Amino acid sequence: MNDTDAIKQVVQHYLNGAISGKGEQMKPAFHGDATIFGYVGPDLFAGPIQGLFDWNDQNGPATGLQARFASIDIEGTIASVRLETDNWTGHKFTDMFVLLKVDGAWKIMCKVFHLHG
């Protein structure tokens, strides 16, 4: 599998968790030390990635989620992904992921997001 397909497969774990409303399904996409940053209204949502999993569990399934890869940029063992999601339980997000190839497997190290108004 080429790197682009491998990265898309990693991000698909994230999307599957969103659709099911189960943070546990997202975990394989992320490194254990991954972080998240973004604003929900005026409030900064920041910290360990477990915060995303907890929010996702509380938010519930996003069965109507639509997702589009806007860009994937790869250089050696690092990559960035811009993902556009719509109808995540009524919300639209732009996500930026930074990935690192760790022991031969791509992992999301950081998620930064913009919640559209």
- pLDDT class of 71 with cuts at 50, 70, 90: very high
Q: For position 50, which CATH number holds?
A: 3.10.450.50
Range of the domain at 58: 3-115
Report how many domains make up the chain. Answer: 1
pLDDT of residue 66: 98
Q: What is the pLDDT of residue 10?
A: 98
Tell me the angle at which helices 3-20 and 50-59 cross, rounded to the nearest 10 degrees.
Answer: 40
19-30 pLDDT per residue, tens: 999 999 999 999
Where does the pLDDT of residue 81 fall: very low under 50, low under 70, confident under 90, or very high at 90 and above?
very high
Q: Is the dihedral of CA 58, 23, 94, 13 positive or negative?
A: negative
Q: What percent of the chain has pLDDT over 90?
A: 98
